[in-house]
Amino acid sequence: MRKVVVTGIGVVSPLGSDLNLFWDRLKSGYCGIGPLTSFDASAMTSRIAGEIIEFNPDDFIPKKEQRRMDNFSKYAIGAADLAVKDANLNMDEEDPTRAGVIVSSGIGGLSTLEKQHSIYLEKGPGRCSPFMIPQMIVNIAGGLVAIQHNMQGPNYAIVTACASGTHSIGAAANTIKYGDADVMLAGGSESSTTPMGVAGFCALRALSTRNDDPEHACRPFDKDRDGFIMASGAGVIVLEEYEHAKARGANIYCELSGFGATCDAYHMTAPTEDGKGAARAMTQAIAGAGMNPEDVDYVNAHGTSTPLNDAMETNAIKLALGEASKKVMVSSTKSMTGHMLGAAGGVEAAICALTIKNGVVPPTINHDNPGEGLDLDYVPKVSREADVKFCLSNSLGFGGHNASIGFKKLN
C-alpha cells in the first residue's frame, strides 16, 4: 500500500474560514454558537445554531454562478479552494486524470428544496427553477469542485448522514493507497440550518433548548447536556501519495494511516448502548495504521452532547482501547463549532491534522461536571500542549453508520 499524507486544509465554519483564525479560536475555547439569524426561529424549540458568518462566496465564485448553487455547494467550493491554496497545489503541473474529489453531504441542498417547494405551491410547477435538481443533489458539490480545479480522476459522494465527511476521507485515502489517484480532495459540506432542517431535528427532540445561553448550550460528556447544536460549514483536506508530495516540496501535516467503517445494524437513529459498532471502527482504523491501542494519544470524538451518543461513545473508546483508555485524551470540538452533520468529519479531520502539526489538543468547553459513567480525560475547558503522534477522528451517523480515521505524525 502507498503512503497517504495530508498537505492542505480548508475550513468554512462557525469559527471562521481563515485557517489561522479558526485554529486560534479553537485553541482558546472560543464558541461559535449563537441565536439563529438566517430565519425567524421564534416557533422552534431550539433557536440557536452555529451559523456561517465570516465567509464571502464572492471570493471564490462569480456572482452569476452563485445563483445556480445551494449554500452547501458554495461552502464546499470555498473550503476546497482554501485547501488547494494551503497545499500550494498547482493543477497546471499535475495530471488531471490522477486527481479526484470525494466531497459529500448528509442532506445536500435543503434550502433549495424549501424555496422551490414554496414556489411550486404559490405559482405552480412551471415556475420551478430548471436548476432545482442540480442545486439539490449531494454529488453536485464534488462535481463543481472538480470543474473548478480540473480534477478528472475518481469523483463521487458518500452519504452516511453525520459520518459522510469521514467516510469520504477514508475512501479518498484508499483511492490513493490502491494506486487509482495521486491527489484527492476529500471532506464534507452542509448547510442545514434552515427552517425545515431545524424543525426536523426539533421534532426528533435531538437539539438543545438552552436558548438563553447559546455559548454554554453544547456540553459534550457533561451531566447537564440536553442535545446537540445545529451548524453549517465545510471541511476539505488535500490528500497526496507521499512520494508525490515530497517530489513537489509540499508542506506535510501528517500521514492519514488508518480507516474503519462499520454498522450497528440496530436502530434508525439510536446507537447501541455498548458502543460495539463504533469500537470496531476504531479498532479497524488502529490496525490499518499498523498501531496498537496504547499508541492512541488523542481521540477527536463525535461528542454530540446528546445523552445517548456521549455515553455510547465513551463505552466504545473503552472497548477499543482497553486499559489505554484511562490515559487517552478525548475532546469534542463540537462544543465550539456545533454539529455540522455531513461536514463534521471533514472539519474534525482538519482539526486532527492541525493537532499533530502544532502539538496542541483542543478542549471540550462547557464540560463542568462529568455525566454518570463518563470518566475519560475529556480535556475540559482548556487546550493542552501535547506531542500527539497518533490520533483518531470518530463520526457516527443515523442508520448506525460508524467511521473512524487515524492520523499519524511523520517521523
Tell me the pLDDT tens digit for each residue of 95-148. 999 999 999 999 999 999 999 999 999 999 999 999 999 999 999 999 999 999
- For residue 77, count other CB atoms closer than 10 A to its CB: 28
The H-or-E segment that residue 213 falls in is none
- For residue 270, count other CB atoms closer than 10 A to its CB: 14
Please classify residue 225 by burial: count the beta carbons closer than 10 Å to its beta carbon, then call 0-12 exposed, 13-18 middle and 19+ buried: buried
Q: Any idea which residues carry the catalytic annotation?
A: 162, 302, 339
* 256 vs 222: CA distance, rounded Å: 31
Max Cα separation, the chain? Answer: 63
Report the pLDDT averaged over residues 324-328. Answer: 98
8 A C-beta contact, residue 185 and residue 173: no
C-alpha cell at 299: 481521540
Q: What is the pLDDT of residue 411?
A: 78
Give the pLDDT band of residue 385 (cuts 50, 70, 90).
very high
Please classify residue 54 by burial: count the beta carbons closer than 10 Å to its beta carbon, then call 0-12 exposed, 13-18 middle and 19+ buried: middle
Asked if the model's pLDDT at residue 347 lies above 90, the reply is yes
Please, what is the average pLDDT of the chain?
Answer: 97
Give the pLDDT band of residue 334 (cuts 50, 70, 90).
very high
Coil, strand or helix at 54: coil
Give the pLDDT band of residue 261 (cuts 50, 70, 90).
very high
Please write the tens of the pLDDT for every residue from 60-85.
999 999 999 999 999 999 999 999 99
Asked if the model's pLDDT at residue 271 lies above 90, the reply is no
Q: 10-24, 109-123, 263-277, 386-400 — which is least confidently predicted?
A: 263-277
- Closest-CA residue to 270 (of 404, 398, 106, 107): 398
* 267 vs 313: CA distance, rounded Å: 16
Q: What is the pLDDT of residue 270?
A: 87
Residue type, 253: Y
8 A C-beta contact, residue 367 and residue 380: yes
Report the pLDDT averaged over residues 327-336. Answer: 98
Report the pLDDT averaged over residues 247-259. Answer: 97
- For residue 207, count other CB atoms closer than 10 A to its CB: 27
Give the pLDDT band of residue 193 (cuts 50, 70, 90).
very high
Give the pLDDT band of residue 1 (cuts 50, 70, 90).
confident
Q: What is the pLDDT of residue 208?
A: 98
CA angle 101, 409, 190 (to 5 degrees): 35
* 407 vs 385: CA distance, rounded Å: 17
Report the pLDDT averaged over residues 155-184. Answer: 98
* 373 vs 405: CA distance, rounded Å: 25
Share of the chain above pLDDT 70, in %: 100
Which pTM was predicted? 0.97
Residues in the chain: 411
Contacts of 179 (CB under 8 A, 6+ apart): 2
Please write the tens of the pLDDT for every residue from 277-286.
999 999 999 9
8 A C-beta contact, residue 105 and residue 159: yes
Report the pLDDT averaged over residues 233-241. Answer: 98
- Closest-CA residue to 408 (of 99, 3, 55, 1): 3
Asked if the model's pLDDT at residue 10 lies above 90, the reply is yes
- For residue 55, count other CB atoms closer than 10 A to its CB: 21
Q: Tell me the residue ranges of DSSP E strands in 31-162.
A: 34-35, 48-49, 99-104
Report the pLDDT averaged over residues 194-218. Answer: 97
Q: Tell me the residue ranges of DSSP E strands in 254-312.
A: 254-263, 298-300
Asked if the model's pLDDT at residue 221 lies above 90, the reply is yes
Coil, strand or helix at 235: strand
In eight-state DSSP terms, residue 94 is S
